[in-house]
Chains A and B, each alone.
Chain A
Amino acid sequence: MKLQKTARSEVAEGLKHHFPRLWRYCLVLAGHPDRADDLAQATCLRAIEKADLWAPGTQLDRWTFRIAQRIWLNELRSEAVRRGGGMTTAEDIDLPDGRPNQEMNFFAREVLLEVMALPEAQRTTVVLVYVEGYSYKEAAALLDIPIGTVMSRLAAARAKLVCKLNEPKSQVG
């Protein structure tokens, strides 16, 4: 009982530290800030509930990413509305306002939108590897897919992103 309590408070404490990253991963999964908020919250509660399944000393962030992913996929599967994963409403994602360097902000925003416009499977892999710094092997383990699938998702994402980010913008509006 006491052990459980310790695990819980440790998980709760850890969650506080990496909540922004957990939320970001939820956003990448869910594609919309509101849904990301709900998913992140549900993930926190689930993590607390299952705290005794977490092995202290292992990486809590990965464990919670996995929980977030499971909640997301299970909800989606049970609803059976997943259509190729391309349902992101990237327009809704906003970078914080008031950044000093407008030009950089614009480009960062464009990068963000293009990544978020990728199919869900590709963008989660991109974020795990290029943003969270996971190795292929770690990403494959977290996503429960073979390494080859990680590679093909990244290759497809790269091809698309290179195209999109290099194409001249004919209309800016």
Chain B
Amino acid sequence: MSERPSFTDEELTAYLDGELEETAAGALQAALEQNAELRARLDRLTLDTSQISSAFDALLASAPQVPDIQQEIATPRGWSRRKSLGAIAAAVTLSLFVGGGAAYLAKRSDLETWDQYVAAYHALYVNGTLARVEQTEPQAAAQLEQISTALGKPVAYSTVTGLDGLDYKRAQILGYEGRPLLQMTFLSKVGAPIALCIIRSENSRSVPLQVRTMEGMSSAYWAANGYEYLLIGGSDPDLIESVATKLTKTL
């Protein structure tokens, strides 16, 4: 009697899926007849895959309407179309990223206010999150203008590029409880990701600059003229304070 051939779970799976080539399938079949242990292993992989397909087929009815692609094509204004594509791409980037963090944030029961959420979210940033963001200056300026204007709080490109010690990267819109939140990101000279976030204030009160540590990162919070601000990231409170002080005057 020769040593009975051993089969991997991958081969058993391929067998179940009718993807194992004939010779191997024959050998497996023969082995199954002899080997109860192998049969038990096969059982542990046996699944009615039609249940999966019918469960997912039920989802098709939940699909949204087909986007009006024809209208997109019909728009001959190249720039504006490009722009809308960019906006959608930005929205996708945003929602994917937020989505990634969402599961983590959902587990945090200690988060109550928007700035706490932002801090917890920002704690997920690593140097690499922003290091590869490459935009030309006009692109970055257009993006900032578009996004900040959408928030109702236009931010000049020169304001965010003229900050000592911070290299401006990009802007995106996030959301907190249905309120849009403008997030601008930077890398510090030592490579720490820094974010400046602006949200429309719910009570319009003014709060003077407060420097504090959140989620182990330096941060500065203030509120003025109907908006609240949070600058956060890295572990250099002096940098955060000096940049924030400048921003209180320029924003």
A: residues with CB less than 8 A from B are 8-9, 12, 15-16, 19-21, 23-24, 27, 30-35, 37-42, 44-45, 48-49, 71-72, 75-76, 78-83, 87-89, 93-96, 99, 105, 107-109, 111-112, 115, 126-127, 129-131, 133, 135-136, 148, 151-152, 154-156, 158-159, 161-163, 165
Contacts and interface: CB of A to CB of B under 8 A. Distances in A.
Contact of B97 (A34, A81, A151): A81
A154 B13 contact: yes
Nearest to B12: A155
B101 A41 contact: no
A39 B89 CA distance: 9
B19 interface: yes
A76 B72 CA distance: 26
A15 B69 contact: yes
B14 A151 contact: yes
Q: Which 8 A-B pairs have the closest CB atoms?
A: A20-B63, A151-B10, A81-B100, A111-B55, A108-B55, A155-B9, A155-B13, A23-B63
A98 to B, nearest CB: 10
Nearest to B65: A19
B128 to A, nearest CB: 5
B52 interface: yes
A49 B85 CA distance: 10
Nearest to B82: A49
B51 interface: yes
Contact of B52 (A20, A89, A131, A156): A131
Contacts of B2: none
A38 B95 contact: yes
B62 A159 contact: no
B62 A129 contact: no
In this complex, the interface size class of chain B, counting residues with CB under 8 Å from chain A, is 35 or more
A42 B89 contact: yes
B57 A45 contact: no
Given A48-B72, A79-B96, A131-B52, A148 B10 contact: yes
B60 A111 contact: no
Contacts of A27: 59
Contact of B63 (A19, A35, A108, A159): A19
Interface in B97-155: 97, 99-104, 106, 124, 126, 128-129, 132-133
A148 B99 CA distance: 30
A45 B63 contact: no
B88 A162 contact: no
Contacts of B13: 151, 154-155, 158
Interface of B: 8-14, 16-17, 19, 44-47, 49, 51-64, 66-67, 69-70, 72-73, 85, 88-89, 91-93, 95-97, 99-104, 106, 124, 126, 128-129, 132-133
A79 B100 contact: yes
B161 to A, nearest CB: 21
Nearest to B61: A96
Contacts of B60: 20-21, 24
Nearest to B134: A78
Contacts of B49: 130
B45 A162 contact: yes
B187 to A, nearest CB: 13
B12 A24 contact: no
B103 A79 contact: no
Given A95-B58, A96-B61, A155-B9, A34 B129 contact: no
Nearest to B97: A79
B129 A81 contact: yes
Nearest to A72: B96
B142 to A, nearest CB: 18
A82 to B, nearest CB: 7
Contacts of A45: 67, 69, 72, 85, 88
Contact of B45 (A87, A107, A159): A159
